[in-house]
Amino acid sequence: MPYATNDGVRIYYEREGDGPPIVLHHGFSLSIADWREWGIVDALRGEYELVLMDPRGHGASDKPHDPATYAMATRVADVVAVMDGAGIERATFFGYSMGGHVGYAAAEYAPSRFRAFIIGGAQPSLPAVEHLIRGAEALRRGGMAGYVEALGPIPVEMRRRLLANDAEALAASRIGTSRAPSYEDAVARLRVPMLVFAGENDQPIHDQAQRAASGNPHVRFVSLPGFGHVNVASAAVVPHLRTFLAEVYGPASTPA
């Protein structure tokens, strides 16, 4: 299985398709499989090379329990390590939820490595520290069973994957990320294309992301009516992805 290593932590990734590379970074507690279930892989692999990664603490990647190992700059370095391992100099970054936060951070810490950014269900400022710490404490108290129970009805396979997570690693991830700065300035300075999308009902993320996108002509915001936070990276966003990527790479999807 392919792994990249950053500061002793192994990051698992998979590659599908052929064409300009897109690195896909999923959200908190999710896995590479979710991109497939949402239809994103089938929609894009015919024209693009998809590099799907499990971030640290998730899936087949290493799961450290030290919150200090989950700083946002370290998460961005994980993405760069995957790109280096795959022999990719520049790529489009596609991040959902937690992965979207990493995308905003990548615009700050490694902008030269990315041709474009796609951010779903995330704003450039993380939720309040207290909210993230409470989430970590809840994970430690109730484990993955308590976490999954709080989500309500979810598909059987997704439930199985969520229950297989390491609750202590996810708690450390929450704590380690909790003091990340706002990346609104990075969005304002951005000089490459960025597509930001959010579900109309995903508040306050939707409105905060829209405000951050409004000050830069290189950043486009798409509101998805009727969607909340969960599964907003679904087939509903595919037409917007196709339009955006065609503008970045050209209709024939050939590298510039």
How many whole angstroms separate alpha carbon 124 and alpha carbon 95?
12
pLDDT for res 254: 42
Residue 190 — pLDDT band, cuts 50, 70, 90?
very high
pLDDT for res 196: 98
How many whole angstroms separate alpha carbon 60 and alpha carbon 76?
18
pLDDT for res 253: 44
- pLDDT tens digits for range 208-255: 999 999 989 999 999 999 999 887 778 899 999 999 999 999 875 444
Q: Do residues 134 and 107 make contact, with C-beta atoms less than 8 angstroms apart?
A: no
How many whole angstroms separate alpha carbon 223 and alpha carbon 124?
16
Q: Are strands 194-199 and 114-120 parallel, antiparallel or unpaired?
A: parallel
Q: Do residues 195 and 248 make contact, with C-beta atoms less than 8 angstroms apart?
A: no
Domain boundaries, the chain: 3-126+184-249
How many whole angstroms separate alpha carbon 161 and alpha carbon 172?
19
Contacts 24+ apart (CB under 8 A), 155-160: 155/37, 157/33, 157/37, 158/34, 158/37
pLDDT for res 215: 85
How many whole angstroms separate alpha carbon 207 and alpha carbon 50?
29
pTM assigned to the model: 0.94
Enter the CATH code of domain 3-126+184-249.
3.40.50.1820
Tokens coding 55: 């971030």
Tokens coding 74: 């370290």
How many whole angstroms separate alpha carbon 211 and alpha carbon 136?
28
Q: Return the ∠ at Cα 16 (arms to 14 and 22), rounded to 5°.
A: 85
Going from the C-alpha of 196 to that of each of 12, 13, 145, 152, 253, the distances in angstroms are 26, 24, 32, 27, 20
- pLDDT tens digits for range 13-64: 999 999 999 999 999 999 999 999 999 999 999 999 999 999 999 999 999 9
